[in-house]
Structure 1
Amino acid sequence: MAKKRTNKYKKHIKQSPGSIIYTGENPTEKLFIDAFDYNNSFINELELKSVEEAFNFKKTESVSWININGLNHIKDIEKVGKHYNLHPLIIADIANTSQRPKIDVYDDYIFVVLKMLYYDDNENIKIEQISLVLGSNYVLTFQEIEGDVFNNVRDRLRLANGRIRTLGPDYLLYALIDAIVDHYYIVAETMSNKIEDLEEALFNGNINENLSQEVLNLKKEVLKIRRSIFPIREIISRIEKNEHALIEQNTIQYYRDIYDHVIQLSDSVDISREMIWSLMDMYMTTISNKMNEVMKVLTIMASIFIPLTFIAGIYGMNFDNIPELHYKYSYYILWGVMILIFIGMIYYFKKKKWL
């Protein structure tokens, strides 16, 4: 039975432009908001009970990172967007989880959409959209569910490691994007290991009935990773070339480092893609070789019995002296021999994995 596919775009039909519609798969997710407010001398880590508490960070002299989990809470997302003067289309894009990674540059803020990739405990790839808004003294992040790849950034903020507490929100945006891109390396490495395991299984002839499905799943995973990584080059390129007032010149070099990482990841994904195509070719070749082996054995068996059958066809049972014809149990013995031959051949074919 074919798998029923959901259409995320169907919700937008007959809706006016800018309509805020949640298109994700977690309609019951609870709203969770945490915040970091800091400068080079202090840090305040908070868990906010309502979106209204996030409004106070807009005019502070410190740097604030407000992380909002639960895109299904559309009214709360809209409240935050209106307070921070986000365009209605931006608010709609935040709720629409099928967005392609992109960047939109406005006069007083920069909006970035990225995809967080990770493998679950069963090594199934998961994709979560994250939206980031860079303002004059804040960074807003919107996530579909609680849990992300930013724990290292949080630890650096708490311990004041590196430059993160001494530089502005543009560096915080860099740190968050860098954490997402760094996690792509783990995904790419896991993907490469899965491809190598399948390649080794094919090379050793260990073909199971699910192997073709595993190769197909790998192909789909590589395409998902590729669609998530490739647009980041355009995003970083626009940040470098736009010369926006929110991006300090001394921070540009850090974004260029992300660009180098994305190029490296893109090459790795392209290599994985080529390896999967090679796996498909190898799989078809292995199946063909296995079939050739089966046909060779069957051809040999047929070649042996064809002349015997030809001789039996000519002479039949036309002999005067056939002792077993007069034996009382000859008929039953003959049936027993034929059944044993049949069972023996079935067992042999199954042992050789021809059946």
Structure 2
Amino acid sequence: MAKNRTSKYNKKIGLSPGSVIYTGDKETQNLSIESFDYNSESVDEKTHGQIEDVFHFKTTKSVSWVNINGLNHVDAIEKIGAHYNLHPLTLEDIVNTSHRPKLDDYDNYVFVVLKMLYYDKDEQVITEQVSFILGESYVLSFQEAEGDVFNTVRERIRYAKGRIRTLGPDYLLYALIDAVTDHYFIVIETLSNKIEDLEDNLFNGFSQEEISQQIQNLKREVLKVRRAIFPLREIISKIEKNENNFIKDKTIHYFRDIYDHVVQISENIEIYREMIWGLMDMYMTTISNKMNEVVKVLTIISTIFIPLTFMAGIYGMNFDNIPELHYKYAYFVLWGIMIILFLSMLYYFKKKKWF
């Protein structure tokens, strides 16, 4: 039975460019805002109930990270966009949760869209869009719901681990993108384990219908991961060109490290994609072999019974002058010949290793 599917784009059809329309499915998500304002000496971490509470971070001399959860609150997104002078197309892309990862340069900020990937407790891959705005002294991040992969970044800011508190907002953007990229490794490792388990199940003769469903699910997962990760190479390439003043030259080296990771992940994804196609071919070969075994057994049975049926057909004809018809032991002789013929054919097939 076909599934009833609804398009995410119905809400945007016919509207002018720059219309801020939330296209996700988390319509009841609460608005959650957290901020980190820090320098090399101190850090101020807060949670906020109103979007207006984070307006002042635009002009602070320290580095500020404002994380906003709840893209369904379009009014709040428009307010912060107006205060931070964000382009309407940027706001449109922030709330468009199916947007392709990308990087856009504007006069007063850099806009980055990524896909955050992680597995839930049922080992189902979850894709969530996260958007970043890099300004002179701040980074704004927008997420669809609470829960992310940035806890390590928060810990580094709180306890001054590494160099994050001594560098600018461009390094903070690098740290956030790097956290997203690091979780890609966890995702592809889980994919690798799933493929290995599927190989074992295929060789151990699990239910054919179950194996087929697992292969289809893995194909969908790999395609979802591939769509999320591959555009990141283009994003990092744009950053390396350094066509804006927001990312310093000394931070470019760190982004190159992300590029190396993305190349490695992309290569692994292509390998896993080929492995899944190989599993599909193996699955089809297994089914074909089993069908061949069945056909071979039926063919042997048919071949054995053809001469027996021929003999039974001759002596089953209604003629009076069949020579052996009135012989006293004709019935037993016929049975003996048929049994000897049956055993002889079995011996011949066995000697030829046909079964």
1:176 to 2:211 alignment = no
Please report how far the alpha carbon of residue 314 of structure 1 lies from its aligned counterpart in structure 2 after TM superposition.
Answer: 3.0
Give the distance between the partners of 1:89 and 1:107, measured in 2 at CA.
14
Superposed CA deviations along residues 286-344 of structure 1, whole A, max 9, x for unmatched, are: 110111111112222222333333333333498889xxxxxxxxxxxxxxxxxxxxxxx
Counterpart of 1:279 in structure 2 is: 279
Counterpart of 2:51 in structure 1 is: 51
Superposed CA deviations along residues 176-196 of structure 1, whole A, max 9, x for unmatched, are: 000000000000111111111
Give the distance between the partners of 1:219 and 1:50, measured in 2 at CA.
42
Give the distance between the partners of 2:126 and 2:194, measured in 1 at CA.
16
Secondary structure in 2 aligned to 1:236?
Answer: helix
Give the distance between the partners of 2:309 and 2:28, measured in 1 at CA.
73
Superposed CA deviations along residues 61-85 of structure 1, whole A, max 9, x for unmatched, are: 1111100001000001110111110
Counterpart of 2:152 in structure 1 is: 152
Please report how far the alpha carbon of residue 11 of structure 1 lies from its aligned counterpart in structure 2 after TM superposition.
Answer: 1.9
Alignment of 1:334-353 (within 5 A): none
Count of aligned positions: 322
Q: Which amino acid in 2 is paired with 1:134?
A: L
Secondary structure in 2 aligned to 1:117?
Answer: strand
TM-score, normalised to structure 2's length?
0.87
Give the distance between the partners of 2:124 and 2:317, measured in 1 at CA.
65
Give the distance between the partners of 1:168 and 1:136, measured in 2 at CA.
9
Counterpart of 2:133 in structure 1 is: 133
Contact 2:23/2:97 (CA < 8 Å) preserved in 1?
Answer: yes
Contact 1:103/1:112 (CA < 8 Å) preserved in 2?
Answer: yes
Secondary structure in 2 aligned to 1:185?
Answer: helix
Contact 1:133/1:140 (CA < 8 Å) preserved in 2?
Answer: yes
Secondary structure in 2 aligned to 1:11?
Answer: coil
Alignment of 1:245-264 (within 5 A): 245-264=245-264
Give the distance between the partners of 1:289 and 1:244, measured in 2 at CA.
61
Counterpart of 1:307 in structure 2 is: 307
The structure number with the bigger radius of gyration is 2
Contact 2:242/2:249 (CA < 8 Å) preserved in 1?
Answer: no
Please report how far the alpha carbon of residue 5 of structure 1 lies from its aligned counterpart in structure 2 after TM superposition.
Answer: 2.5
Give the distance between the partners of 1:240 and 1:188, measured in 2 at CA.
25
Secondary structure in 1 aligned to 2:117?
Answer: strand
Counterpart of 1:163 in structure 2 is: 163
Give the distance between the partners of 2:267 and 2:136, measured in 1 at CA.
35
Contact 2:117/2:184 (CA < 8 Å) preserved in 1?
Answer: yes
Q: Which amino acid in 2 is paired with 1:256?
A: R
Q: Which amino acid in 2 is paired with 1:112?
A: V
Contact 1:205/1:286 (CA < 8 Å) preserved in 2?
Answer: no
Superposed CA deviations along residues 33-73 of structure 1, whole A, max 9, x for unmatched, are: 11111111001110101101011211111111100001000
Give the distance between the partners of 1:32 and 1:317, measured in 2 at CA.
92
Secondary structure in 1 aligned to 2:10?
Answer: helix
Superposed CA deviations along residues 127-150 of structure 1, whole A, max 9, x for unmatched, are: 100000001111000000100000
Counterpart of 1:6 in structure 2 is: 6
Alignment of 1:111-122 (within 5 A): 111-122=111-122
Q: Structure 2 regions of 5+ residues with no counterpart?
A: 319-324, 328-355
Alignment of 1:1-355 (within 5 A): 1-316=1-316
Secondary structure in 2 aligned to 1:14?
Answer: coil
Secondary structure in 1 aligned to 2:247?
Answer: coil
Q: Which amino acid in 2 is paired with 1:303?
A: T
Contact 1:181/1:262 (CA < 8 Å) preserved in 2?
Answer: yes
Superposed CA deviations along residues 81-112 of structure 1, whole A, max 9, x for unmatched, are: 11110001100110101100000101110000
Q: Which amino acid in 1 is paired with 2:132?
A: L
Give the distance between the partners of 1:302 and 1:40, measured in 2 at CA.
87
Give the distance between the partners of 2:71 and 2:83, measured in 1 at CA.
17
Q: Which amino acid in 1 is paired with 2:281?
A: D
Q: Which amino acid in 1 is paired with 2:202?
A: L
Secondary structure in 1 aligned to 2:113?
Answer: strand
Give the distance between the partners of 2:2 and 2:275, measured in 1 at CA.
28
Superposed CA deviations along residues 152-173 of structure 1, whole A, max 9, x for unmatched, are: 1111111110001110100000
Q: Which amino acid in 2 is paired with 1:95?
A: V
Q: Structure 1 regions of 5+ residues with no counterpart?
A: 322-355
Give the distance between the partners of 2:61 and 2:82, measured in 1 at CA.
21
Give the distance between the partners of 1:292 and 1:308, measured in 2 at CA.
25
Q: Which amino acid in 2 is paired with 1:281?
A: D
Please report how far the alpha carbon of residue 10 of structure 1 lies from its aligned counterpart in structure 2 after TM superposition.
Answer: 2.2
Give the distance between the partners of 1:154 and 1:137, measured in 2 at CA.
17
RMSD: 1.7
Percent of pairs identical after alignment?
A: 66
Give the distance between the partners of 2:146 and 2:177, measured in 1 at CA.
18
Contact 2:201/2:211 (CA < 8 Å) preserved in 1?
Answer: no
